[in-house]
Amino acid sequence: MKRIAIVIGHNSKAQGAIRVLDGRTEFDWNGELAELIQAHDPDSIRVFRRERGGGYSAEIDRVYAQVDAWGADVSIELHFNGSVNPKANGGETLSSGSKGSLALAKEVRERVSKALGNADRGVKTLGRKDRGGRSLWQGKAPAILTEPYFGSNAAECLTAQMNMDELAEAYYRGAYAFLSPVPA
């Protein structure tokens, strides 16, 4: 059985960006999304939440130690973007640049882009010390960090809300395609 870890970005105190449409935070909205992803295969998908305490690095180290202890084959950390520009749009997927992380990012990015139909900002590689990079490098399994839309863009918030089930399926199908590639 292949194991997919879903890590909810941020924590209960520092909840991340806020959706202009409804005031929901990354932590809250992605908690609901994580449950929808897990529903596709509850035996193979586990949701992990960062526990507050010790600062950002300690929280990341702790949650990815839990992901490793569970034996995850891949991890997907859920976020959404924010900007001072309410017209900023599109989605991107962040990768460590390792072969596995890049392949996982490509599979997920392609499906998420189709599910939301917004601008595809592509796959971007982060170093260990780049903002968000620690999440991509801390665990043993190939990891990605996703930013599927801008919470500061009301139209993108609405699209993401209306297509939340499709977005959850896109994450699941992308991870599954990476874990079970069709032989060439």
Provide the residue ranges of all domains of the chain, joining segments of one domain with +: 4-179
Q: How many CA atoms lie within 13 A of 93 on its CB side?
A: 27
Pairing of β 74-78 and β 143-147: parallel
* Fold exhibited by the domain 4-179: Aminopeptidase (3.40.630)
How confident is residue 128, by pLDDT bands cut at 50, 70 and 90? Answer: confident
pLDDT tens, position by position, 107-116: 999 999 999 9
3-state secondary structure of 170: helix
pLDDT of 131? 86
Q: What is the C-alpha to C-alpha distance for residues 125 and 131, in angstroms, rounded to an integer? A: 11
pLDDT in tens, 76-107: 999 999 999 999 999 999 999 999 999 999 99
Which segment of 30-34, 44-48, 129-133, 139-143 scores lowest on mean pLDDT? 129-133
* Sign of the torsion angle spanned by Cα atoms 152, 167, 26, 72: negative
- pTM of the shown model: 0.95
Give which of 68, 75, 71, 62 is closest to 4, Cα–Cα: 75
| For residues 120-130, average pLDDT | 93
